[in-house]
């Protein structure tokens, strides 16, 4: 095993981002993926390098937060989008919504956005901090 792989075994878990009020949001660069298992099954956990995050309308100062992608809306977003490490994600909690199916409970509604990581070509073509591309 490489040293980087071994370090991952000792990494502390990032605190969880918990959306509690309509409008709570999180955005940032995807650092890693994991999973969590409960009595209801296993679901993905996505850790972000936080660009912006709020809970109950209060801005959070955490540098890293874990987003637990449980529930149908977030789980479906994860499955259909297939976000990648290095990409950027934004998630906003829109509150509970009445189900369209009579007799079903209300569900948590979310808005999501995803920007894939830049390709190698995009990275090479991007202007360097010195003012040009790698090939200028």
Name the 3-class secondary structure at 72: helix
Question: What share of the chain has pLDDT > 90, as a percent?
Answer: 72
SS3 label, residue 49: strand
In a domain, 8, yes or no: no
In the chain, how many domains are there? 1
pLDDT tens column, 10-53 = 677 899 999 999 999 999 999 999 999 999 899 999 999 999 99
Q: What is the pTM of this model?
A: 0.81
Asked if the model's pLDDT at residue 129 lies above 60, the reply is no
Contact 47, 31 (CB under 8 A): yes
| Residue 114 domain-assigned (yes or no) | yes
* pLDDT score at 54: 96
Confidence of residue 93 (pLDDT cuts 50, 70, 90): very high
Q: Is the pLDDT of residue 132 over 60?
A: no
Whether 93 is covered by a domain: the verdict is yes
CA distances from 29 to 70, 79, 80 (A): 20, 18, 19
pLDDT on residue 6:
74
Domain range holding 112? 14-120
CATH code where residue 24 lies? 2.40.50
More confident position, 68 or 118:
68
Name the token pair of 43: 């679901």
Q: Kindly state whether residue 132 falls inside one of the protein's structural domains.
A: no
Rounded to the nearest 5°, which phi and psi values hold at 110? -135, 150
Mean pLDDT of the chain: 88
Q: Is 96 a domain residue?
A: yes
Q: Flag whether 131 is in a domain.
A: no
Q: Is residue 6 included in any domain, yes or no? A: no
pLDDT the model gives residue 91: 98
Residue 1 pLDDT: 61
Would you state the pLDDT for residue 135?
52
**Residue 125, domain member (yes or no):** no
Residue ranges of alpha helices (H) inside 1-136 are 3-10, 72-81, 120-125
């Amino acid at each position: 095993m490489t040293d980087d792989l071994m370090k991952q075994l000792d990494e502390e878990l990032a605190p969880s981002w918990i959306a509690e009020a309509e409008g709570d949001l999180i955005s940032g660069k995807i650092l890693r993926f994991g999973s969590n298992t409960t009595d209801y099954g296993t679901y993905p956990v996505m850790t972000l390098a936080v660009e912006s995050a709020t809970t109950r309308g209060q801005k959070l100062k955490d540098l890293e937060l874990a987003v637990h992608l449980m529930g149908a809306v977030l789980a479906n977003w994860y499955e259909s989008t297939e976000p990648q490490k290095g990409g950027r994600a934004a998630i906003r909690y829109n509150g509970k919504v009445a189900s369209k199916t009579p007799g079903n409970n209300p569900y948590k509604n979310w808005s999501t956005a995803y920007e894939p990581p830049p390709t190698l070509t995009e990275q090479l073509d991007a202007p360097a901090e010195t003012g040009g591309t790698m090939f200028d």
